Structure 1
Amino acid sequence: MDDRRRNPDFNHILAARDTAACALRVAFLVGGVAGWLFIWHIFTGG
């Protein structure tokens, strides 16, 4: 795991991965809420 300190590119990959994970989490949260509302709308017929 010492590769992180030796390889600057690896740090960029880790940072990008963390940013992507955070963005995905937000997208899933928003998409999940919208998806549930959409499903509820279909099932209730309203």
Structure 2
Amino acid sequence: MKAIDASDIAEMVGNLLLEPSIIPSILRLLLYLSHPAIFRLPALKADPP
């Protein structure tokens, strides 16, 4: 078993970025994490001062 070096890591990251499903899943994860904040923002703006 050979040690993992920087080029191996770069190759793995490159393969992940080329994977067509990884970007939508990252976006979905970000959307899911920001979900409560998205719902709270309009409510805060709608409140009269």
Q: TM-score range by the shorter chain?
A: 0.3 to 0.5
TM-score, normalising length: structure 2: 0.44
Query: Structure with the greater relative contact order (CA < 8 A, sep ≥ 6): 1 or 2?
Result: 1
Give the number of the structure whose residues are more often helix, by fraction: 1
* TM-score (norm. length: structure 1): 0.46
